[in-house]
Structure 1
């Protein structure tokens, strides 16, 4: 039986360790074969904009671009609809493969059987 991991990241570069932890767990779960959905909310939405992950640095941590690539290749990356609108971001502004979706989609994902949700 396959399990799904839904991760919501509520912090951006201003809370580097928390942000990096969410990406590390998401990429690790993808590598382990789990179905992964990583949601970016608040300031975390900027990580979905091309070039932003490359400027993120945290000593002794895997490069955020590598973790982000793993999620995009093996999971689903989502930017919160309201958060995107507050920052004037559209699907044209985010990385290919990133979707913009809201609370109904998040709720549907986390209420699915065999799903674990984590918030960072």
Structure 2
């Protein structure tokens, strides 16, 4: 059985290293064959919208847009319901393939048998 990896990123441009680390770990999980679920919360919610990941820059790091594409291709990406609402975002505002769900769905994923949850 392959363990699942649930990564929640709560930061954005204000904490670029921690933000990029979360996306890097999620993409590395995909590369290792794990079932990966990436949750965008807090200021990371903006990366669910078109063009925002492309604007992010961190020297010597894989572009955030590339990491997000890897997870979208082989894992799941979810935008926090409340975080989306606080920013005026709806399903029509986010990239294709990104779901919007609440805390109950995150808890269900994080507590599933064989799951490893990490919060950045």
TM tier relative to shorter chain: over 0.9
Q: Which runs of 4+ in 1 moved over 6 A?
A: none
Superposition map of 1:23-102 within 5 A: 23-102=23-102
> What does residue 110 of structure 2 align with?
110
Deviation string 1:39-70 (CA, Å, 9 cap, x unpaired) is 01010000110000010000000011110000
Report the secondary structure of 1:14's partner residue.
Answer: coil
What CA RMSD, in Å, does the superposition of the two structures yield over aligned residues? 0.5
Gaps of 5+ in 1: none
* Aligned residue-pair number: 120
TM-score after normalising by structure 2? 0.99
Q: Shift of the alpha carbon at 1:13?
A: 1.1
Q: How far, CA to CA, are the matches of 2:12 and 2:38 in structure 1?
A: 14
Gaps of 5+ in 2: none
